[in-house]
Amino acid sequence: MDPRLPNTGKTAGHPAEPTFGNAAGSIGPGTPPRTRRSPARLVLTVLAGVLAAAGVVSLSALLLTALQGESIWPGFAAGAFYALPAAFLLMAGLVIDSIVHRRRG
């Protein structure tokens, strides 16, 4: 190695090889194989997103109806009270499952 070059692990005239990800050219013995996500996990992720969106929409409708001074439809209250905590619990469970999956594999 040329003493004038900093010690970066590279040699003069050779590009650095990528070490992370599965980009083209980086698949090698040190790269872990990509695992396929389970269909149940995908369904739970979509369900959590839909519940969160429905909860936020019903909460905003509840607040707008209350600010206008009209009577509040109980469906808006039920959507806000049940959909948002259910979405939060689903998302927390998915995060915990992801952490456990990464530590095992």
The pLDDT value recorded for residue 31 is: 64
Q: Are 105 and 35 in contact (CB under 8 A)?
A: yes
Rounded distance between C-alpha atoms, residue 84 and residue 53, angstroms:
8
Confidence of residue 19 (pLDDT cuts 50, 70, 90): low
Report the C-alpha gap between 77 and 25 in whole angstroms: 54
Write down the pLDDT at residue 38.
Answer: 86
pLDDT at residue 34 is higher than 80: no
pLDDT tens-digit map of 45-103: 999 999 999 999 999 999 999 999 999 999 999 999 999 999 999 999 999 999 998 99
For residues 31 and 22, is the Cβ–Cβ distance under 8 A? yes
CA separation for the pair 39, 71 (Å, rounded): 42
Residue 5 has pLDDT above 60, yes or no: no
**Angle, alpha carbons 92-86-38 (nearest 5°):** 55
- pTM reported for the whole predicted model: 0.64
Instruction: Provide the sign of the torsion angle of the four alpha carbons 23, 25, 27, 29, taken in this order.
Output: negative
